[in-house]
A and B are shown apart, each in its own frame.
Chain A
Amino acid sequence: MTAETAKKPGLETLRAAISRLEGHCDRRRTVLPFGVREIDSRLPGGGLALGALHEVAGGGNDALHSAAAGQFCAGIAARTRGKVLWIVTRQDVFAPSLKQVGLSARRTIYVEASSEVDVLACFEEGLRHGGLGAVVAEVSRLSMTASRRLQLAAETSGSLGIAIRRWRRQTDAADFGQPTASVTRWRVSVLPSLPLPVPGVGRSRWLLELIRARAGECADFEVEACDGKGRLSLPAALADRPDQETTWTRRARA
C-alpha cells in the first residue's frame, strides 16, 4: 500500500471490503516494484502486481524476435524468488544473456511446447502451482477466454505471469490490439544508445510503453536496459534531447 492510503484508514477499510467481495485473497496481492520512482508511481499499488497476468510485446522491427521484450521479462523474473518457468514454441533464448540480467540458468526451466494449445495449458498449470517465482510464456494469440483463465490461475496462487506476445508474421500483430484480461500491457522498443566518449556501444536503451494498466493510466518511459541484477534505470538528463526524440518517435511510428 502506498503512503497516501496509509494515512486514510477509512479508504483502506473500504478497499479491503471491496477486495473481499471480489473474492481476492488480499494477503497475496502484493507488488514487485521496479525500483524506479517514475514507473512505480504510475502503476496501481506501486509496482507490477504479483498474482496477475501481464503482457509484453516488442515494438517495431523487434516484434519478430522480441529480443528487448524477452530481456525486459527476464529482468522482471530475475527480481522474483524461486524457479522461473519459461515456455516457448521455438527455442531461441540464448541462456548466457539471461545470466547478464541476473536470471541464472539454474533458476530457469524451459518448456518447449509443440503447439499453442500446449503453451497455454502449461502456462496455466505453472501459474496454478504457485511455487514459481514467475511464469513467462511466448504466445502469439491470446483470446479473452484464455487470458481470463490465466489471470484467474495467477490470482488464486499469487504467481506472476508474463505473456510475451510474439508472432511470426506481421499480420498476426493485429491480435495484440484485441482486449484481454491481463492487468498491464507493455510494449518495449529499442532506442539508440547514448554516444560514448570513446568508440563502442553504450548501455542499451528502451522505449517502454505502458499501453494498458488496470486501474491506472498509460505512460511512456525512456529507460536504460536491465543491468546485471535485472534493474531498470532512467537515463541521466540528456544533452541532445531533441535529436534523440525525433529519432525514436520516427521509429515508434514505423
Chain B
Amino acid sequence: MARVVSLYLPLWPTDRIRKRLGPDAPAPETPLALAGREGRRRVVLSVDLAARKLGLRPGTPIAKAQALYPDLVLMDADPEGDRLGLEKLALWFQHRIAPIVAVDAPDGLVLDTTGADHLHGGELPMLKDMVHRMAGAGFRAKAVVADTWGAAHALARYGRLAIAVVPSDKTTSALADLPVEALRLPSPIIEGLPTLGVSRIGPLAAMPRAPLALRFGPDVARRLDQAFGRMGEAIMPVRPVDPVEVSRNFAEPIGAAETIAKYIGKLVPLLCQGLDERGQGVRRLDLLLHRVDNRTEAIRVATAMPVRDVKRLTRLLCEKIETINPGFGIERMVLIASLAEPMDRRQTVSSLIAEEEADVSDLIDTLANRVGTQALYRFAPVESDLPERSFCRVPALAPEETKDWPEHWPRPTRLLARPEPVQAMAELPDQPPLFFIWRGVRRKVKCADGPERVFGEWWKNDAELTIARDYFRVEDTSGERFWLYRAGDGEHGETGSQGWFLHGIFG
C-alpha cells in the first residue's frame, strides 16, 4: 500500500506576505486580510489567525470587513505568487523528502513517501521534521500521513492533530467523523448534501450509490473511493526546471527484476551523457516507474558528492530493485537527475611520493541508501568541558575539521548515555571515593586520578551558572577502571547535589 503525506499550510498567503516583508510586516497579533476579486466583487480572499479570531471569513466583501473591523490591515492578494511559491516549496520537499511531490492547490502539498520514510527515521519523525522546518521558516503547517491522498488531505485539514500517522487499517474509522467538506468536492455538491441529511463522511459512505450518482453525478462516489483507497489516484510530481531526464516506453509492460535491471543499465549511460554535456554530476537520482494501473513507483538514490559514474549509479539503482512492486507491469521508466551539481574536477595524484588515500564516497552512498543518511556520521569536536557536549555528529564526508580534543586527561572508551547515580563514600571536598556501589556491585577503589573540575556553561543556560562537577578516574581492586564524578565541588551546596555518578568505563 502506498503512503501519502498531505502537508497543509492553512495560512500560506498571509504567512508568505509576512515572510516577504520581513521587519516591515504587521505584527502577528495584528489582524491581516488579503483582498482580491471574486467575479466583480472585491472580497477578502484569505485571513490570518488573528483576523479569524475576530470572526472574519474569506468571502466577506471588503467594504463590510473594513466597516466591521477598523484596525484590520488589508493587503492585495497574490494568488499567482502563492501558487508559484507552492511549486518552489514542492521542489524543495522533493529534494529533501521523497521523489513524488505535487502541489495540492491552493494551500498544501502532497507527497508520496512510500519507502522513503526510513531515510528520515520513520514516519512520525519525518512529519515532525517537515512541520518544524516549516515553522522555522515562519509557516504554520499540519502534516498527516495516510494510505491515500484523499484521506491524508481530509485529515490534515479537518483532523484535530497537527501531526498524525494514520495506520493502514484505520483509514475508514479515521475518516468516518469528518465533515463532508473534507472530500474535495465542488461547492454545489457540498451545499446540496445537507439537504439529504448527511454531514459526515461515515454516513455518506454508507448510503446507496445509485441515487447519489443520479442526483450529484459521479463525483461523490469517485472521491469516496479515492479516500478509502478503492480507486487509485495518481500524483503527478513537480519537475525541477529543465532537469536531465531520460525515459523509455515499453510496448509490452515489463515486471521481472532482471528486465528492470537491464533497462536501468540502458538508461544510466544516456543520463550520464546528458550530465557530461552540462558538466554536472547527480546528488539525487529518481527512477519513476509508471505502472499500467496508473500508479507510479519511485526509487530514489542519493549520493554524498556529485557523481557521473555509470557503473556506480547503475549499482546504486539496482540495489533498490527489490523495493519495486511492478503490479501488472511497468509501461514507462523515467530516470531524472532531480538534483544535479557541477562536478569539480579534482586532482587525483597530489604528489609523486604520497600514496593517494582511497576514495570511499561510493561506499558511503551505498551504505547511506541502506541505513539512511543520518545513521552514517563522524564525530567532530565541540568546545565544551562537559563530556556529553564535547562532540557532535557531522556527515561522513564533511570537510575535515582542524580542531581536536585536548589530550591532557584520559577519556573513557565508553560513555554512558546518561550518568548513572552510584552510592559512594568519599572524604570531602576533593578526595576520590573509597568505595562505590554500581548496579548492585560494591567496588573498592584501589587508586584514583583527579579531580578534574568541570564547570557548567552559564552562557547556554542560567541554571548552569553555579554548577560544577569533579571527575575522577578510579581503578577498583579487580583492575576495572571507571570514570566517576561528584555533582558539585564538595563544599558549596549550590554547585550541585554532591551525589556521585558513574559516567564512563575505561578500557
A residues neighboring B (CB under 8 Å): 60-62, 65, 67-72, 74, 81-83, 85, 92-100, 104-106, 108-114, 118, 121-122, 125-126, 129-132, 188, 190-193, 195-196, 199-202, 204-205, 225, 228, 247-248, 251
Taken together as a complex, chains A and B put the C-alpha atoms of A247 and B401 apart, in Å, by 44
Indicate if the CB atoms of B367 and A201 lie closer than 8 Å. no
Query: Which stretch in B49-57, B69-77, B413-421 binds the other chain?
Result: B413-421
What would 7 more interface pairs be, CB under 8 Å, given A132-B358, A196-B447?
Answer: A65-B413, A65-B414, A67-B414, A96-B405, A99-B411, A131-B359, A204-B481
Query: How many inter-chain contacts with C-beta < 8 Å in the A-B complex?
Result: 173
Q: Which of A118, A129, A201 contacts B475 (CB 8 A)?
A: A201
Q: Give B381's nearest chain A residue, CB to CB.
A: A105
List residues of B (142-194) whose CB comes within 8 Å of A's CBs: none
Taken together as a complex, chains A and B put the C-alpha atoms of A7 and B478 apart, in Å, by 47
Chain A interface, DSSP helix/strand/loop, else mixed: mixed
Closest Cβ of chain B to A7, distance in Å, is: 31
Taken together as a complex, chains A and B put the C-alpha atoms of A66 and B407 apart, in Å, by 22
Provide the residues of chain A in CB contact with B375, threshold 8 Å: 111-114
Q: Which of B376, B410, B480 contacts A62 (CB 8 A)?
A: B480
Is the C-beta of B364 less than 8 angstroms from some C-beta in chain A? yes
Indicate if the CB atoms of A114 and B371 lie closer than 8 Å. yes
Can you list, as one digit per residue, whether each of B395-439 has a CB less than 8 Å from chain A (1) or not (0)? 010001100110100111111110000000000000000000000
Closest Cβ of chain A to B334, distance in Å, is: 28
Closest Cβ of chain A to B484, distance in Å, is: 12
Question: Given that A95-B391, A200-B447 are contacting pairs, would A118 and B371 also be in contact in the complex, using a CB cutoff of 8 Å?
Answer: yes
Question: Given that A122-B370, A200-B447, A201-B481 are contacting pairs, would A106 and B378 also be in contact in the complex, using a CB cutoff of 8 Å?
Answer: yes
Is the C-beta of B474 less than 8 angstroms from some C-beta in chain A? yes
Provide the residues of chain B in CB contact with A94, threshold 8 Å: 387, 391, 411-415, 504
Number of B interface residues in the complex (CB < 8 A) = 52
Is the C-beta of B78 less than 8 angstroms from some C-beta in chain A? no
Indicate if the CB atoms of A225 and B357 lie closer than 8 Å. no
Taken together as a complex, chains A and B put the C-alpha atoms of A164 and B442 apart, in Å, by 28
Taken together as a complex, chains A and B put the C-alpha atoms of A202 and B446 apart, in Å, by 11
List residues of B (462-494) whose CB comes within 8 Å of A's CBs: 473-475, 477-481
Is the C-beta of B238 less than 8 angstroms from some C-beta in chain A? no
Q: Which of A83, A105, A195 contacts B379 (CB 8 A)?
A: A105
Provide the residues of chain A in CB contact with B475, threshold 8 Å: 192-193, 201
Is the C-beta of B506 less than 8 angstroms from some C-beta in chain A? yes
Provide the residues of chain A in CB contact with B197, threshold 8 Å: none
Q: Which of A72, A104, A110, A132 contacts B507 (CB 8 A)?
A: A72
Is the C-beta of B135 less than 8 angstroms from some C-beta in chain A? no
Indicate if the CB atoms of A125 and B358 lie closer than 8 Å. no
Indicate if the CB atoms of B363 and A111 lie closer than 8 Å. no
Provide the residues of chain B in CB contact with A83, threshold 8 Å: 357-358, 360
Indicate if the CB atoms of B415 and A92 lie closer than 8 Å. yes
Closest Cβ of chain A to B449, distance in Å, is: 5
Provide the residues of chain B in CB contact with A65, threshold 8 Å: 413-414, 505
Q: Give B443's nearest chain A residue, CB to CB.
A: A61
**22 A-B pairs, CB-CB below 8 angstroms?**
A61-B478, A62-B507, A67-B413, A68-B413, A70-B413, A82-B360, A97-B410, A97-B506, A99-B404, A105-B380, A105-B391, A106-B400, A108-B378, A113-B371, A118-B370, A121-B370, A125-B367, A126-B367, A131-B363, A188-B507, A192-B478, A193-B481
Provide the residues of chain A in CB contact with B366, threshold 8 Å: 125
Closest Cβ of chain B to A30, distance in Å, is: 15
Q: Which of A83, A105, A118, A202 has the most CB of B within 10 A?
A: A105
Closest Cβ of chain B to A166, distance in Å, is: 11
Is the C-beta of B294 less than 8 angstroms from some C-beta in chain A? no
Provide the residues of chain A in CB contact with B370, threshold 8 Å: 118, 121-122, 125
Q: Which of B375, B400, B410 has the most CB of A within 10 A?
A: B375
Closest Cβ of chain B to A189, distance in Å, is: 8
Q: Which of B362, B363, B380, B412 has the most CB of A within 10 A?
A: B363
Is the C-beta of B448 less than 8 angstroms from some C-beta in chain A? yes
Taken together as a complex, chains A and B put the C-alpha atoms of A130 and B506 apart, in Å, by 31
Indicate if the CB atoms of B479 and A205 lie closer than 8 Å. yes
Q: Give A203's nearest chain B residue, CB to CB.
A: B410
Indicate if the CB atoms of A67 and B379 lie closer than 8 Å. no
Taken together as a complex, chains A and B put the C-alpha atoms of A6 and B79 apart, in Å, by 84
Indicate if the CB atoms of B479 and A96 lie closer than 8 Å. no
Indicate if the CB atoms of A96 and B507 lie closer than 8 Å. no
Question: Given that A67-B413, A192-B475 are contacting pairs, would A99 and B405 also be in contact in the complex, using a CB cutoff of 8 Å?
Answer: yes
Q: Which of B448, B480, B507 has the most CB of A within 10 A?
A: B507
Taken together as a complex, chains A and B put the C-alpha atoms of A199 and B411 apart, in Å, by 19
Is the C-beta of B377 less than 8 angstroms from some C-beta in chain A? yes
Indicate if the CB atoms of B367 and A111 lie closer than 8 Å. yes
Taken together as a complex, chains A and B put the C-alpha atoms of A60 and B378 apart, in Å, by 30
Question: Given that A118-B370, A125-B367, A251-B478 are contacting pairs, would A71 and B507 also be in contact in the complex, using a CB cutoff of 8 Å?
Answer: yes
Provide the residues of chain A in CB contact with B242, threshold 8 Å: none
Provide the residues of chain A in CB contact with B367, threshold 8 Å: 111, 122, 125-126
Taken together as a complex, chains A and B put the C-alpha atoms of A96 and B390 apart, in Å, by 9
Is the C-beta of B252 less than 8 angstroms from some C-beta in chain A? no
Is the C-beta of B355 less than 8 angstroms from some C-beta in chain A? yes
Question: Given that A70-B507, A96-B411, A131-B358 are contacting pairs, would A110 and B379 also be in contact in the complex, using a CB cutoff of 8 Å?
Answer: yes
The 5 residue pairs across chains A and B that have the minimum distance between CB atoms: A131-B358, A71-B507, A192-B479, A95-B379, A94-B415
Q: Give A244's nearest chain B residue, CB to CB.
A: B479
Taken together as a complex, chains A and B put the C-alpha atoms of A122 and B447 apart, in Å, by 41
Taken together as a complex, chains A and B put the C-alpha atoms of A202 and B244 apart, in Å, by 63
Provide the residues of chain A in CB contact with B414, threshold 8 Å: 65, 67, 70, 92-94
Q: Give A207's nearest chain B residue, CB to CB.
A: B479
Taken together as a complex, chains A and B put the C-alpha atoms of A81 and B358 apart, in Å, by 10
Taken together as a complex, chains A and B put the C-alpha atoms of A130 and B449 apart, in Å, by 42
Closest Cβ of chain B to A135, distance in Å, is: 10
Closest Cβ of chain A to B397, distance in Å, is: 9
